[in-house]
Chains A and B, each alone.
Chain A
Amino acid sequence: MIRILFGILATLGILTALGTVLARNLVHAALFLVAFFFLVACQFVLLEAEFMAAMQVLVYIGAVAIILMFGIMLTRNIQGDETTGGHWVRKLPAAAVALGMLAVLVAGILDEKPLGGRPAWSAIQARPEAIVPSADGPPVDARSAAIADMSRSVGVEMLQRFVVPFEIAGLLLTAALVGAIALAQSEEREDSSRSGASSDMRGGTTMQPAPGFGVKLAATPNGSAAGLSAKLHPASDTNLS
C-alpha cells in the first residue's frame, strides 16, 4: 500500500519536474515547480519528517515561488511566454548528458559497496523501527524522539552542535537581504533617471510619469504631500453590499 503511494507520488514528482524543465510558458513552468515542491513535501511526509514538509511548503511555495513569479513579471512580457529557444536537435547533447548522468547514478546506487559493516543501500528494504515515546515510558533513541517532535530536536541541535553553522546561516541571510535591497536601490536610480528623461522628451506637458503602484504623489519638499494625497484618495468607503 505504502509502496503504491510512493509510486504515485514519485511519478507525479518526475512528471512535474519534467514540466518545469520543458514548459515553454515561464509561469506554467513556475506552477509545475510549485507542484514539484509540494510533491517533495509529500515525500518528506513519507519519510516521517512532517516538520521538514512544513518548512518546505513555507519556504519554497510561500517565498521562493513568489520571488520567481516576481522575477518573471519584472523581466519578460506580462504573458510570461518564452520567446527564445533552440531547435530540439540542439537539445539532444544535453539530454544525452542528463541520461548518462542518470545511468551512472542508478548504477552507483544499485551497486554500492558498503563500508564498515553497514548494509548496502540496495539491501535496505525497510526503515528502522521508530518507537513512540510516552511520558512514563523508557527513554527512546534520538531518532525516534526526533520523529515524534522534530521541532524540539532541531532547536536543541541548532543551539548546541550546529551553533556555528546556524550563526553563519543567519549572517548569510542578512547578507542576502542587504544585497537584495542594494540591487533594488540601484534599480530605482536607473528607473527614476529614465522616467525623468521620458518626461523631458514629452516637452512642456505637466504630466507625471506613471507610477507603478497607483500612488500619484509628487515628491514635494514640505508636508503638502499628505494634503495632496488626502485630496487624491478622499474618504475610504465603508459601504457594504
Chain B
Amino acid sequence: MNLVLPSTWPLLLAQEVSSSAWLAEPFPLLPLLSRQMVIYIAWLALGFFGAFPGIVAYMVWAERKVAARFQDRIGPNRVGPLGLLQPIADAIKLITKESIVPLAADKVVHLLAPVLILVSAFLTLAVIPFGFGSKEGNRLTGFTPIDLPSGLLYLIAVSSMSSLGIFLAGWASRNKYSLLGAMRAVAQLVSYEVPQVLATIPIVLWTGSLSLVAILNRQVDVDWFLFSPPGFLAFVLLTIANIAEVNRTPFDLPEAESEIIAGYHTEYSGMRFGLFFLAEYLSVFSVSCLGTILFLGGGSLPFFDFPRSMLTDALPSFILVNTFTTGVFFFKVLCYVFLMFWIRATLPRLRVDQLMAFAWKTMVPLSILNILIAAIWQETVFGHNLDYLPSFTDKVWGWLITGPIVLVAVIVVLKLSRQAATSTAPSAISARRTAAMASR
C-alpha cells in the first residue's frame, strides 16, 4: 500500500468530509458528521456535559441561600464571595470521598441504580425547547436538541423510568430503611404520575399535538395557557404533582430523615450519592422547564406576538431573539424553582396515608373534572377549528362560563375528600390499601 504523504492526508480527509456525498447521506438515521450530527454533538458537549450540571450546582447554592433567608440565617458564605464557589468545593468533596458498597449489597445493581436515575433525568432534557429557533413559514421551530412529534409522551415516559432506579437502589442496598424508602417512593411516584399526566391533557386538547414546540407555537397564537380557569387549575395540579414527583418537602417521605434515615440512598456515599443528588436537582430543573413550557409560554412574552414578529431570516435577528427568549425562559424557570423552594421552606411533611389520600381522592378527581372543563373552554373560546384565533369577547365569555364551574368543582371535591377523610379514621391498613392500589 502506498504511503500517503503526511502533509496531504488531512487535506484529503477534509475534502472527503466536506464533499456533498457526506452531507447528503441518504438514510436519515445515521448520518456521519452531517449538519444535524454536529448540532447534536454541540448540544451534548455544551448542554449536557457543561451547562446542565452547572445549573444544578448553582441551584443547590440558590436553594441553600433561599432556605437560609427563610430561616433567618445567612447560608453558605465561606468559599468565595457570597459562597459562590461552594458548589465546586462540594463537588470536589463528593468526588474524592470513598464510595462504600455494603458487603451484602448486590454490587452491579447498586451501581446501576443511581446511573439509571441520572440517565432518566438527563433524557427528559432532550426534548425541551429552551427558546425559539428560526421561523419556517408562520411556524417557529424550537431552540431544542430534538423536536419530537410526540415529545410530551416521550418526556413523561423517560421521567417514569426514575421510579425503577429508585426501587433498585432500595433493593440493592439490603437495608430495611432503604427498602422502606424505595417502597414509599415508588408508591408515591406512581400515584402522583396519574394527576401529572392528567393535568397535561387540557394542553394537548387545546394544541392538537404532543410536540412541545407546537404547544409553544399555540401559546404564541392564543395567550399562555395559564390565563384561563381550567388552565390555572391544571397548572396548580401539575405543580403539586411535580413537587411530589421530585420528592421535595411536603412530599419527601421517601427520604424523610427523621423517620427512615435517608430512604433509598441511605447506603450510598461518595460520588454515587452525588449522582442521586445531581439527578434530584436535574429533575427539579426539568419539571420546572415542563411547567414553564406547558403553561407559561416558554420563552414568549404574554399578550405579545413577540418572537414571531421580530424573527427574520437574518443571522443577527436569530441570535438576538434567541438570546432574549432563552433569557426569558430561564427567568421563568427560576421563578418556578423559587416557588418550589418557597413551598419546601414553608410547609411541613405529610403523613403517608394523607399523601396517598390526597393523590387519589383529591387530585385525580379534580384533574379528571378539569379535562371536562377544558373541553368547555375549548368549545366556547377556541371553537372547533385549531386555526381560529379567539377574540377578546370570546375569552370573556369563556371566563364567565368556566370560572364558576372551576370554583364549584374545587370546592365540592375538597369538601367530599375531607368528609371521606374524617368519616374513616386513618389507619395503617388504609394507607397500605392505597399504596397497594397505587402499585397496580
Contact = CB atoms under 8 A, between A and B. Distances in A.
A141 B355 CA distance: 49
A236 B348 contact: yes
Contact of B63 (A54, A177, A217, A240): A240
B353 interface: yes
B37 interface: no
Given A51-B153, A151-B210, A218 B161 contact: no
Contacts of A54: 150, 153-154, 157
B161 A61 contact: yes
B410 interface: no
Contacts of A184: 433, 436-437, 440
Interface in B197-243: 208-211
Nearest to A56: B157
B164 interface: yes
Interface in B128-185: 137, 139, 148-150, 153-154, 156-158, 160-161, 163-164, 167-168, 171, 174, 179-180, 183-184
Contacts of B71: 238-239
Given A27-B171, A223-B422, A187 B190 contact: no
Given A31-B109, A237-B258, A213 B435 contact: yes
A148 B210 CA distance: 12
A110 interface: no
Interface stretch (B51-59, B397-405, B423-431): B423-431
B431 A213 contact: yes
Contact of B209 (A1, A46, A151, A221): A151
A69 B183 CA distance: 10
Given A151-B150, A184-B433, A219 B351 contact: no
Given A50-B148, A57-B157, A180-B440, A221 B425 contact: yes
B426 A66 contact: no
Interface residues of B, number: 71
Interface string A37-80: 00000000010001100110110011101110110010000111
B345 A238 contact: yes
A2 B429 contact: no
A215 B351 contact: yes
A71 to B, nearest CB: 9
Interface in A66-123: 66-67, 69-70, 73, 78-80
A200 interface: no
A32 to B, nearest CB: 12
In the complex, which of the residues B71, B349, B439 has the most CB atoms of chain A within 10 Å of its own CB atom? B439
B257 interface: yes
B29 interface: yes
Contacts of A218: 427
A139 B344 CA distance: 52
Contacts of A221: 425
Contact of B432 (A55, A181, A213, A220): A213
A10 interface: no
Contact of A58 (B157, B168, B428): B157
Contacts of B32: 1
Label chain A's interface by main secondary structure: helix
B109 A2 contact: no
A201 interface: no
A128 interface: no
B308 interface: no
A241 interface: yes
A136 to B, nearest CB: 8
Given A27-B109, A215-B431, A58 B160 contact: yes
B348 A229 contact: no
A66 B167 contact: yes
Nearest to B214: A149
Interface string B330-359: 000000000000001111110111000000
A212 B431 CA distance: 9
B153 A151 contact: yes
Contacts of A73: 171, 183
Nearest to B260: A214
B164 A217 contact: no
A233 interface: yes
B119 to A, nearest CB: 11
Contacts of A226: 426
Interface string A164-196: 000000000000010011001101100110000
Contacts of A58: 153, 156-157, 160
Contacts of A240: 63-64, 67-68
A34 interface: yes
Nearest to A25: B106
Nearest to A224: B425
A46 B149 contact: no
Contacts of B150: 50-51, 54, 150-151
A13 to B, nearest CB: 17
Contacts of B148: 50
Given A5-B30, A151-B209, A237 B157 contact: no
The 8 closest A-B pairs by CB, nearest first: A211-B428, A62-B160, A236-B348, A236-B349, A58-B157, A180-B440, A57-B157, A219-B427
18 contacts: A1-B27, A2-B27, A2-B29, A5-B30, A50-B154, A57-B157, A65-B164, A79-B174, A152-B208, A180-B437, A180-B440, A181-B437, A212-B428, A215-B431, A217-B427, A225-B426, A238-B345, A238-B346
Given A80-B171, A181-B437, 16 more contacts: A28-B109, A62-B161, A62-B193, A66-B190, A69-B171, A73-B183, A78-B171, A135-B139, A211-B431, A213-B183, A214-B352, A233-B259, A236-B258, A236-B349, A237-B257, A238-B67
